[in-house]
Structure 1
Amino acid sequence: MKTVRIGAGQGFYGDTPDGAVGVAERGDVAYICCDALAELTMAVLQKDRMRDAGGGFARDLPAFMRALLPVTRGKGIRIITNGGGMNPVAAAAAVRQVAGELGIDGLRVATVSGDDITTRFDELRARGAELRNMDTGADLATIRDRTVFGVAYLGARPVVEALARGADVVVTGRVADASLFLAPMVHELGWRWDDWDRLATGVVLGHLMECSGQATGGNFSGDWWNIPDLDRVGYPVCEVGEDGSALLTKPAQTGGRVSVETVAEQLLYEVLDPHRYLNPDVVADFTSVRLEDSGADTVSISGVRGSARPDQLKAVIGYLDGWLGAAMIGYSWPNALAKARHAALLIDRLAERAGVVPLEQVTEYIGIDSLHGDAADLGAAADANEVTLRIAGRFATEAEARSFPRLATPLALNGPPFIGGGSTPQAARALLGVWPTLVPREHIEDGVEVVVDEVAR
């Protein structure tokens, strides 16, 4: 039976390339898939593109290519990445540049574009796509004059096309995380686009691998203290058969752990409805998944059921949503929390007197309630050794956002007893809001383009 081995190379923008290199050197894989994107990441990359038309892709992509290409080229391993972000064309050019600098001739780099709908909002609405906020039902008209970007989540098909055209590296924009991993399975194993159970298996595996070390012991909430050598954690590797049988493991001689427990925890990560996990290629039923330990650091995945893909694609629209102004001050024992609370009261009074009132405000006491909110045990916090007050506000103008944290600076001498910890004003930052919506898939897929270029001296 034909099989294919696929490795994970990246779980987020800013991840280390060490895990990907470990997969390339010791994973015995034919493909490495790198997932660099999240909805927040798209907003960050759009800010980059607004500052520089040549930016907008993951800035660590060249570093990944410098680390990976010398290994993958010699072994014939193909790389798939959505690190193209908001500018896959520029990202692919950066990959070719790195290959040229490394003296790698003949590398075929594919660019997948068409997910960017930034200039198409009015056209899409004219074609019948309402683009309403899928959480609130609000009309896009309420933010239309403030929209700055939009992307639709593509599936595996254009990546499969790129692989069929001989691409060694595939650079995409917003392709759904799991679809990056599904694509080489479809390409190598000949799965049909209506073989919902096999496609669902591929999506489950992609979901297990998209967050790099989270499936191999990273971020594990069980006996995390017993996970060996997380400083050199092995990223996940899957072996998939054409019948949909699958194993999840990691490269030999790497840290971490692959067990039913670590895999099950990742399976449930970021899942709204486990009966209907929506992906552009298939709807997967995560409740049908069977996990079994199958040897050292190996888990078998079976029983996955799927149903027909959705008629619509998810899209995310980013819009200007004001400016962030934030102030932070640290206080120490005794009465650290009481000091921080009184400082927050003083800042509120100063802001009101100055007429600098946020549209929204968050006041948190780091070390006490910034993670647990109202569930925090304030009784136990009464004798805390140290507390950092953080007050963050959303303002209509940059000037207000800049002036707000300065109100807190005098409290270094004019407020409760203060011993260091950050009274320096933080720079104002533009805020981008995220607007989730749905688009009929035909409106997007008819504009997807795959271009393959070859590196030559």
Structure 2
Amino acid sequence: MKSVRIGAGLGFYGDSWRPVRASIERGGVRYIASDHLAELTLAILQKDRQKEQSAGFARDAVPMLLDLWPLAARHGVKFVLNAGGLNPEGAREALARAFRDQGWRACIAVVTGDSVLQRFEALRGRGEALAHMDTGADIATVRDRLVFANAYLGARPIAEALAQGADIVLTGRVADAALSLGPIVHELGWRWDDWDRLAQGLVVGHLLECSGQASGGNFGSAGEWARIPDLLHIGYPIAEVFEDGTAVITKAPGTGGRISFDTLRQQLLYEVHDPHAYVSPDVVLDMGTLRLDDEGDDRVRVAGATGARRPDTLKVVAGYHDGWMGTGVIGFSWPDAHAKCVRSAEIIKGLMAERGWPAEDANIEFIGYDSLLGAHADPAHRDDLNECFLRMTVRTSDRRIAEGFGRLFPWLGLSGPPYAGGFHGIERAKELLGIWPTLVERALIEPDIEIDVEAVA
């Protein structure tokens, strides 16, 4: 039975590509599906683009491919990556320039059409409310502050780019799993209305999209994580997908980490609200019929997923200017470390009140006590902490207040509670971008999708 092997690339902007080398050398992969765009990454790329118009893409794509392409080319491995971000053409230009400098050849495809900001008024004119998915709020409340808006595209343009001979496919915003589903459909010839097979492909893409998280990284609790072998040399997951939709998840021989029923089960439920209706642009997946059969030796067979017709809408994530953030951090040692942080927070709030500095929002956390667990932190040992750090942030529409906020903290070093330390300088104000998720009819977006394949020589 015909099959194709796909390896996981990055799981986020800034992730390591070192384990990808083993997948190419020893994992028998034909494709690497690399996910550079977490939900909030577009906000980071927008800030880059505000500083430099030619930016706006994931900058790690170029050094990654410069490092891996000679090996990939020898093994006949292609790359699919969403590193185009807000500027796919800019990403290709940077990559093509780097390849030409090395004298390398490759066909690089760019998929565009996900950016819809310039079409917002036209979309509203066509009856699209663009209301906030979670709150129902009117887009008019942020319309004049919008700086980007991108739809989650599916796997079809990726498959079409590969059919046109692309060695590297650069996209903007696509569904994470589409990076794997596109090559699967291209290689195995599945129909775009074969919902059960597409559902299986979606499962595979979902298992691969977070790099080492499916192979033992970020896994388990209560000591289970410590039994994962050799995280230093973790192998990223690899999927061998067969024509009938079944798949085997494994990793390259000789690598660390673990592929097991439990590691895959944890990744399978990651970011899933309804396991019986996991919605993607290509298919709606029901995980309730899925089977994970652990065959041992870092091999798990995946089968039985069922799918329903794809949705008529596509998710769009827009970003808008949402003020400025000021930050201050200071730490204190035992005794009474937590109490000192509480008193310091009261002093900072008093200083803000004296200056008449309003804040639309504020956050106070005590690192070493509740910065991760929040309200679930156990107070039993709160008063016996060896050390505790106060971290305060404020959100304000006034940049000057955000800039001045961090300057309130150094004074505490000599005029606040005793045994302060860990002060690491005054942080500059940071621009905040809010996120606006909404839904748009796919028929109003897909006609504008374009695929352009360029031979670099």
- The TM-score by the shorter chain falls in which range? over 0.9
Q: What is the aligned-residue RMSD (CA, Å)?
A: 0.9
Deviation at 1:317, TM superposition (A): 0.6
1:69 match: 69
Alpha-carbon distance in 1 for matches of 2:289, 2:322: 41
| 1:365 to partner: Cα distance | 0.3
CA shift, 1:82, in A, is 0.2
Q: CA deviation at 1:446?
A: 0.5
| Contact 1:409 1:423 (8 Å CA) reproduced | no
Q: Measure the CA separation in 2 of the matches of 1:449 and 1:20.
A: 29
2:131 aligned counterpart, secondary structure? coil
Partners of 1:378 and 1:59 lie apart in 2 by: 43
Q: Residue 46 of structure 2 aligns to which amino acid in structure 1?
A: Q
Matches within 5 A, 1:28-427: 28-105=28-105, 107-222=106-221, 223-422=224-423, 424-427=425-428
Structure 2 CA distance, aligned partners of 1:423 and 1:407? 13
Could you tell me whether the CA contact under 8 Å between 2:214 and 2:266 is conserved in 1?
yes
Relative to structure 1, is the Cα distance of residues 374 and 309 closer, same or farther in structure 2, using a 3 angstrom cutoff? same
2:136 maps to amino acid: G
Code of the residue aligned with 2:344 in structure 1: it is A
Q: Secondary structure at the match of 1:133?
A: coil
Moved over 3 A (4+): none
Q: Report deviation, 1:256.
A: 0.4
Quote the Cα distance in structure 2 between the aligned partners of 1:246 and 1:2.
12
Deviations 1:305-335 (A, max 9, x none): 1000000000001000000001100000010
Letter matched to residue 377 of structure 2: A
1:98 shift after superposition: 2.2
8 Å contact kept, 1:10–1:212:
yes
Inter-partner Cα distance in structure 2 for 1:76 and 1:103: 18
Give the conservation status (yes or no) of the 8 Å contact 1:327–1:423.
no
Shift of the alpha carbon at 1:423? 5.8
Secondary structure at 2:420 match in 1: coil
SS at match of 1:394: strand
Please state whether the residue corresponding to 1:120 is helix, strand or coil. Answer: helix
Contact 1:10 1:19 in 2 (8 A): no
Q: 2: distance between equivalents of 1:98 and 1:70?
A: 13
Aligned AA (2:338):
L
- The gaps in structure 2 that reach 5 residues or longer are none
Cα pair 2:260 2:296 within 8 Å, conserved = no
285-294 or 256-265: bigger deviation: 285-294
Q: Count matched residues.
A: 455
Measure, in 1, the Cα distance between the counterparts of 2:419 and 2:121: 54
- CA–CA separation in structure 2 for the residues paired with 1:286 and 1:64: 34
Helix, strand or coil at the partner of 1:330: strand
Structure 2 CA distance for aligned equivalents of residues 221 and 96 of structure 1? 41
Measure, in 1, the Cα distance between the counterparts of 2:297 and 2:308. 33
The answer to whether the 8 Å contact 1:9/1:23 transfers is: no
